[in-house]
Structure 1
Amino acid sequence: MVVKAALIESIFSVLQHQALGPEVVDSVAMAVGEPTGAKRYVKGHNLGEGTYGVVFKAVDTVTNRTVAIKKIRLGKLKEGVNVTALREIKLLKELQDPNIIELMDVYPHKSNLHLVFEYMESDLEAVIRDRNIFLSSADCKAYMQMILKGLAVCHKKWVLHRDLKPNNLLLGSNGQLKLADFGLARIFGSPDRRFTHQVFARWYRAPELLFGSKQYGPGVDVWAAACIFAELILRRPFLQGSSDIDQLGKIFGVFGTPGEAQWPDVTSLPDYVEYQYSPPQSFRSLFPQASEDCIDLLQRMFTYDPKQRITAQLALEHRYFRTEPAPTPCYMLRRPVKPEVHPKPIELLSPAGHIVFSPPTKTRRLQLFGGDIKTAGEASRDTHAKLQPELGTPIDAITIPMSIDPKTNLRPTLNSSDRSYLKRKLDMDIFLTPARR
C-alpha cells in the first residue's frame, strides 16, 4: 500500500511538472485505482455560506478523513475563475504551518471550483460566546500564542491576512487554533505598493485604515489581533463602532485622541479629520483582571503609530508568554458545546385514530389521578386497561393530556357517552373543508 501511494505521488508530480492538464492527471489516477475530484468526496451537510460560496462537510473516500469543502461560484465564462479564490489557493500552498489552515485539494466540478480544507470543529467566536466555558488567563494566553504564531509565519512569508476576526480563527478537535479565510490576504513588501483600505471587519480595523491609508504593513494584522485579545479577556467585542467615523470615535474615546507626538504622520493620511481631544483611559480600568504583563503587551499592540507597533514575532517573545501561568496546552482547552438538534414533533394518535403533532415541550404533562400528581406517561399506563377496550388504541399512542395546574379546578373526566360524542365531532372536524369550518 505504501509503495502504491508513493508510485501515485511520483506519477502526479511528474505530470504536474510537465504542465499536463487536469484531465490527464485524473485519467492516470483512475488507471491506478484512486478516485479524484468530486468522485473522491462524499458530501455531508452545509457548514455555512459566505460571500463567494458554500462550505459543506464531506468525507475523503481515499483516506476516510473528514474534510470541509468550500464551493466557490464561478462567474460567466468571460469572467473566468474568481480572483479571490486564486489568491487564496496560491497563498495557502505557500503557507504550511500548524497554526494555518491546510488546503488539501482543489478540483473543478459543474462550473464550480471546490477547495478542500482540513475539517475544523469550531471557531474562537463560539468559545467567546459560550458562557459555559470559563476562560482563565492561561487559556487566553494559549489562544493568543497560537494566533501570533500563525501571524508571524504569514508576515515572515510577506503575507498580510487582512481579515482577522474570531470566526476566522478555527479550532480543531485537539484544540489547535488555525488562521483561516485568506480571501483578502495579499503579498506586501514593495515600498510603493498600494492596497485598498476597505479590509477587515470594522471592529478589528486599525486606525490608519479608517483614515484611508493605502500603504500599510503587518501592523494592521497586529491591531486586529489586539482587538481579539481584548475580546478574549472581556468576553465581548471591545470596540463596536457603527460606521468608520464612529469606530474612530470609539478608539479615541478609549485610547485618547492621537497627536503629532504619538503619531507623527497621522495628519497626512488621505481621510484624516480632526477629532475633539479626548484623554486616554487607564488600561487598568479597562482590564481590571489582567496582569501587568498582559496590559503591557496590549498597550504595545494598540500603539497608534504603525511604525512603532509591536510585531507578531516580538509579541511572541514578550515576557507575558514566559511568566506564570503557562499557556494551557491546546488539548486541554475547553471546546464549545455543539448546538443540540431539536427532535421532530412527536406523532400521536388521537382517540379518533388521527395523527396529532405535539411539540417536544408537551411530552411531559401533569394530571391528577386519585388525588396524586402523575406524569402523562404514568397516567397513560394506569388508564390503559380502561381505554383500550373502548378506543382500540395502542398503549404507545395514548393522547398526552394538556398541562394543568393542580391548584385549579380539574376538568371532569369523560364518560362513555361523552367520549362517543367527541369521537364523532373529531371525525366531522377532520373532514370539513377550511371554508366550512
Structure 2
Amino acid sequence: MLLSDGESDPASSSDDVQSPVRVRLRNKKISTEDINKRLSLPADIRLPDDYLEKFNLIGPALFEQPISRRLRRVSLSEIGFGKLETYIKLDKLGEGTYATVYKGRSKLTENLVALKEIRLEHEEGAPCTAIREVSLLKDLKHANIVTLHDIIHTQKSLTLVFEYLDKDLKQYLDDCGNTIHVHNVKLFLFQLLRGLSYCHRRKVLHRDLKPQNLLINERGELKLADFGLARAKSIPTKTYSNEVVTLWYRPPDILLGSTDYSTHIDMWGVGCIFYEMATGRPLFPGSTVEEELHFIFKLLGTPTEQSWPGISSNEEFVTCNYPQYRAERLSNHTPRLSSEGVELLSKFLQFEGKKRISADESMNHCYFSNLGNRVRSLPDTTSIFSLPEIQLEKETKKPTFYLSKII
C-alpha cells in the first residue's frame, strides 16, 4: 500500500517492526493545515470548532490511504460547503433573466463573496448557461479567472459562490472619467490575454467578452467572469450559434453569419476592449448588425476579395451593399497609444479570424516589453502583482471601489 508521502508500506517482520511513516502518522496531531492540504481547501478557511477535534479521532487512519471522492464530499459538507447557511447575504448587486447576484460573506473565511442565485423552474430545471458555467469554471484555476468557491443546490435554486471583486472594467472606466492611465491599460490588457491564453489552451472559448465581464479588485487584478456563453470547443470542429458576443464586441465574420469559429472569436473582442481602455469610448457602438458592420468598414475599410477572400460571395454582405470606404489610420484614433500598441491593436482587428493574433502570441508582443520577462513565466495561479516590478499606477481621478457585477 502507498502512504501519503508515497512510501510503500512494508509487511511487518516477525518481531512486529512497524513502518516509521505509519508510526509518525499515528503519533501526529492533525492540524488545520493538514486538513486544508488533504481536502484542497484555501489557507484562510476557518474550520468549525468541533470539526478538528472529530478529525483527530478519525484523521490518522484516514491519512494512511488516498481519500475517496465520497469521503471528500462528506468532509466538505461537514465543514459547511454546499450549504446556504454558510453564507450571509449583505446587498443585492443586480438581477438578470435567470439569476440574482448578492454581495455576501462566508462564515468559513469571513471573506466577502458574490452569490449568484439561479432560479430553477420545475419544468425546465437549471438553465443551460448555468450548467455550462459550472462545468467550465470548476476546472479553470487561474489568477485571471474569477474563482468559483462553492455550489449550493436546493429545490428552488442553484447558487454559485464566487470570490468578490470590487468592480468591473466598465465601472473602473467611469470612475476614471474614461481616462485610464496608459500603464494600467497595458497591465489590464496583459492580464486579460493571460486569462484567455489559459482558456484557449484548454479549448475553452469565452464568447462574451465585454468590459462588464472583466472584474477588477483594488490591487488591480483583472479576472474574466461570466462564462454563461462560454463553451469547450470540440475537435473536430463543429458549428456553433452565431448569436454570441454582445453586438459591440462581435467580430465581422460572426456578424455576417459564420458559425464555424475557434479561439479567434475572442480576439476581436480583446481589440475592441483595448481600444476602449485607451480612448475611453467604445470602438463600434452599433445598435443593429448592419450598423455595427457599417462602423467596422468605415474604420477598417470595406473588405474586398483581396483583403477578405470569399467576401463577395457572402449573401448578407452583398445584400447590404455597403459604401466603398478606405481604411483609416488607427493611430489617428488612438493618440495615447504607442506605435507598438497601435500595431498590436491592428493584429486583433483582422477581418478573417485565422489572421488575428492569438492570446499566447500577443503576450510576447513588443508592446509589453517594458513589463520584463518574469511576468510571462509565472505559475497559472500566481498574480502578476506578486512581482515587485509590476505595480498599478495611481489614477488621476481616484477610483471609488463599490459593488461588482457578476451576471
Using structure 2 for the length normalisation, give the TM-score.
0.75
Aligned runs of 1:143-292 on 2, under 5 Å? 143-269=188-314, 271-273=316-318, 274-292=321-339
Matched letter for residue 295 of structure 1: V
Deviation at 1:54, TM superposition (A): 0.6
Q: Secondary structure at the match of 2:189?
A: helix
Quote the Cα distance in structure 2 between the aligned partners of 1:175 and 1:43.
25
Residues 128/5 of structure 1: CA separation in 2 closer, same or farther (3 Å cut): closer
Indicate yes or no: 2:382 matched with 1:337: no
Residues 264/280 of structure 1: CA separation in 2 closer, same or farther (3 Å cut): same
For residue 60 of structure 1, the aligned residue among 94, 102, 106 is 106
Aligned runs of 1:20-419 on 2, under 5 Å? 25=73, 34=80, 36-76=82-122, 78-132=123-177, 134-269=179-314, 271-273=316-318, 274-323=321-370, 329=390, 331-332=392-393, 334=395, 336-338=399-401
- The size of the alignment, in residue pairs, is 333
Q: Residue 17 of structure 1 corresponds to which residue in structure 2?
A: 69
Deviation at 1:285, TM superposition (A): 1.4
Deviation at 1:110, TM superposition (A): 4.7
Deviation at 1:332, TM superposition (A): 4.4
**Unmatched 5+ residue regions in structure 1?**
341-437
Answer yes or no: is the 8 Å Cα contact 1:74–1:113 preserved in 2. Answer: yes
Residues 55/16 of structure 1: CA separation in 2 closer, same or farther (3 Å cut): farther
Comparing 205-214 with 183-192, greater Cα deviation is found at 183-192
Quote the Cα distance in structure 1 between the aligned partners of 2:128 and 2:371.
46
Q: Secondary structure at the match of 1:271?
A: helix
Residues 123/35 of structure 1: CA separation in 2 closer, same or farther (3 Å cut): closer
Quote the Cα distance in structure 1 between the aligned partners of 2:246 and 2:226.
13
Quote the Cα distance in structure 2 between the aligned partners of 1:144 and 1:40.
36
Quote the Cα distance in structure 1 between the aligned partners of 2:35 and 2:141.
25
Deviations 1:26-72 (A, max 9, x none): 6x556x56464102111111111123201101111112121111001
Q: Residue 406 of structure 1 corresponds to which residue in structure 2?
A: none
Comparing 132-141 with 35-44, greater Cα deviation is found at 132-141
Larger radius of gyration: 1
Matched letter for residue 263 of structure 2: P
Residues 256/29 of structure 1: CA separation in 2 closer, same or farther (3 Å cut): closer
Deviation at 1:271, TM superposition (A): 3.4
Quote the Cα distance in structure 2 between the aligned partners of 1:295 and 1:204.
18
Residues 40/300 of structure 1: CA separation in 2 closer, same or farther (3 Å cut): same
Answer yes or no: is the 8 Å Cα contact 1:133–1:336 preserved in 2. Answer: no
Quote the Cα distance in structure 1 between the aligned partners of 2:113 and 2:306.
51
Residues 261/332 of structure 1: CA separation in 2 closer, same or farther (3 Å cut): same
Deviations 1:57-92 (A, max 9, x none): 11111121211110011122x422221111111111
Deviation at 1:224, TM superposition (A): 0.4
Deviation at 1:185, TM superposition (A): 0.3
Residues 263/55 of structure 1: CA separation in 2 closer, same or farther (3 Å cut): same
Q: Secondary structure at the match of 1:230?
A: helix
Deviations 1:323-381 (A, max 9, x none): 489998355454621469xxxxxxxxxxxxxxxxxxxxxxxxxxxxxxxxxxxxxxxxx
Quote the Cα distance in structure 2 between the aligned partners of 1:116 and 1:324.
33
Comparing 185-194 with 63-72, greater Cα deviation is found at 185-194
For residue 2 of structure 1, the aligned residue among 33, 36, 46 is 33
Q: Secondary structure at the match of 2:331?
A: helix
Matched letter for residue 336 of structure 1: P
Residues 279/8 of structure 1: CA separation in 2 closer, same or farther (3 Å cut): closer
Quote the Cα distance in structure 2 between the aligned partners of 1:181 and 1:110.
23
Q: Secondary structure at the match of 2:351?
A: coil
Residues 25/99 of structure 1: CA separation in 2 closer, same or farther (3 Å cut): closer
* Highest RCO, 1 vs 2 (Cα 8 Å, sep ≥ 6): 2
**Unmatched 5+ residue regions in structure 2?**
1-31, 41-58, 376-388
Quote the Cα distance in structure 2 between the aligned partners of 1:41 and 1:253.
51
Matched letter for residue 290 of structure 1: L
Q: What RMSD over aligned residues (CA atoms) do the two structures have, in Å? A: 2.9
Q: Secondary structure at the match of 2:258?
A: coil
Matched letter for residue 167 of structure 2: S
Matched letter for residue 218 of structure 2: S
Deviation at 1:265, TM superposition (A): 3.0
Quote the Cα distance in structure 1 between the aligned partners of 2:81 and 2:354.
51
Answer yes or no: is the 8 Å Cα contact 1:213–1:270 preserved in 2. Answer: no
Deviation at 1:182, TM superposition (A): 0.2
Answer yes or no: is the 8 Å Cα contact 1:213–1:269 preserved in 2. Answer: no
Residues 53/324 of structure 1: CA separation in 2 closer, same or farther (3 Å cut): closer
Answer yes or no: is the 8 Å Cα contact 1:126–1:336 preserved in 2. Answer: no
Residues 275/291 of structure 1: CA separation in 2 closer, same or farther (3 Å cut): same
Residues 16/67 of structure 1: CA separation in 2 closer, same or farther (3 Å cut): farther
Using structure 1 for the length normalisation, give the TM-score.
0.70
Quote the Cα distance in structure 2 between the aligned partners of 1:59 and 1:154.
28
